[in-house]
A and B are shown apart, each in its own frame.
Chain A
């Protein structure tokens, strides 16, 4: 699904942030990959929040410039000052290999090229957090993974387990996966 999310205010906020950066003389294209609530909205979830969690691996100085502009826009629109944040970036390793190649375009706003993680990558990240985040398990149910996606999710867990430095086996996530299969 590639519908526009029912939250024009957030797209307006992204657009204004891009405008502000352009006014400040930022000309180089900056890619923002959205992975949180807004990515869920683009994938058809309706009971989610409209904050923008960004997977960021770029230069910290550039991020500060973006976050400062976003906070200015927040003040203008009455949004939380951290509506655009990169807190989820520490979980980037939980995404399946190649997620960066599968991102889908949302649009360009001034120098900001905004993308979102793919449906499969969103489901995979939610599977990893589902044992301790009931809202993520609820989202997976709403997204209705296909049998093919469930197979790929198992491979994803296998890879994460094989690469985990402390030997984490992702048993809880496998139990969740098993329950999803039993519901098919």
Chain B
């Protein structure tokens, strides 16, 4: 019935809307017909034509009114009004192109950056993994005594956890990094390509609840015997890209690094992998690690930490309960005399939410993104305040029009609706332009982000145009429309009709405009101060970090990484290769010396090595016994420019080519000397690996000495602290051992280091043209690279703080100019009565500064609260750093004073005669 009714009436409504002219004409004709017939009738009754006509019209009781009543029956009134409002709004906006442009542009900017940032924030911080019940997933990570968190475990540890924990409904392990392997397949005509392979335990897909769209996924039966399960599952995207979605791939063979694998399945399309922005191309069982490490080190060695472990909580178990169970598991394990027990050095295995992904590699972005999102939100608020102010000024100009309409009987609600329609028009234009801006700015965002982490690609993260982002934009723009449109609409329509009509044009303004727009300006100033303070804190953080004493000769040092194994060199060929490279480099012009090591300045890896005993030092029971090590060639300290306050550097004979003759000497850093020896002189003291059972855990470069001798190495020197992993955080104890070279090349230039890059590349190519040197940069450039995030924050917050400040100044300027214009008459009187220009300037400036000072005071308290939220991003200063806050306030005062000075000067130029005459 209802539907039938609709089917019948819908065409009528549409006709009323879209054939309006025809409908109107028919209405007119219908009534005219009636009246004419009535006139004829009346004449027939004996009236004169004049009387007849009059009577007919009277019987109708006002043709136009009847027409309006008939129109009301059409039920499309709201829509008609809307169309009318839109037409009117467009016309008025077109009439003031300046206002429209400013409003639309600032809205577009605000909405655009918010959309762009949200499109990054959403996948990284809000959205869950596309798996079953992602909130049940927990990632296991180890926490050591220093609070360092690591997410890697050995395979034996995984097996133990799987066997001994009951709080999980499932547990799986996967390799920490996707391995890049050569893939050959018959389709490609045996042309090989690099693909990303992730090794996973058999439980992986079941625990995640990911199904195959084709074939099957892996099961525990695929992960039993090392090397015996050459099967692989394809990622849907890879299948589409590489095999064009060919269903016949199932059962076919592909070669991965020379081993044949059978394709058994393709995963469901929505599953991109377990990390946003980083999906592997295919998955294979962990047991296949055998083909890369036939010694089974990855599957048997308790020290080979290369797996990430993820578990699904049983539905009836809360995370705290599971954590308690894992704590118990670890304490039992630690008391075990086995290898696994001894290797359990972690103070805690902690459960983290795996809802959004497991590696936490995107985690470094969370803090900055949260801050940036807040910053762009503030900018949008400031933009809204500005537009609201502009709208108010316009409303003031339109006051007479509004007054006339109110007098003629327009409803206030109707007028408000019309004002809001205008705001909505602005918002729509702003959204369209803003989306374009966001689309364009994703490239900028990507460029900023990929400078740090090139694995994050545009397709994987920044997806503008998905429904969530669009939804966000729409909600934001609706809120902004209300925000900047409602107050002016309310104020403009609340006026005393009489006084508005009577007052001279120059004074016609809704009375309440000034206080409201003043509070808007105060809010803008306060918000700008928050942003300025934030920027100041980031700038000072960056300065603090980059002005540290790095310990080395940064301006002369250039470093790079040679991956000789990728070029086909075997381990035992490396010393000879390194010797040849260094010989060439050492005789090149511009290079004073060159050396190789496991780690240079902020480059390379200093891995912790477990269970080192230090003479005269007894560990507390739960104390971390891993100490980081760096194998360096003799001459390393001199080359990199790291001073040795005590003792001496390794001599060439101490790193002889025969392992047995390796000197048993070590150099420690100052932090280690302080921690283990206090004020004592460490020279001549000894250290060594004290557990004979842990033979496999020796650093690879270290020859096999007699095991279990805690006095193996004699300390011959103490080196100044420097930075290896990052510029933040405290320096850790470090031991240098003599070696025959690691993969980090360090060269010292006789002059500036940067021009040496091409020389070094050429010389290395001359040794072997297959050799590649990666990330060959000077130590100074390396500092810049590692301060990427800090520089990003400075750039972003600086840009937006400038924008906010300019918007606030425009707002302030606007309000004060309007004020001056409104008071021309008053100023004229003052000047006529003898006020000097100086006095007038002072008068206006005083009012400006009053606004600014109130804004600054409000902003100060806001900044005090807000900066605490960014404390973790700062370095070397407190969030309420008085210097920063003081400077920001001063800067704001100065700029605001300038913005206020221009209207003040204009006020002073008022000619009293003209001002008085203009009434």
Q: Does A pair with B? A: no
A positions within 8 Å CB-CB of B: none
B positions within 8 Å CB-CB of A: none
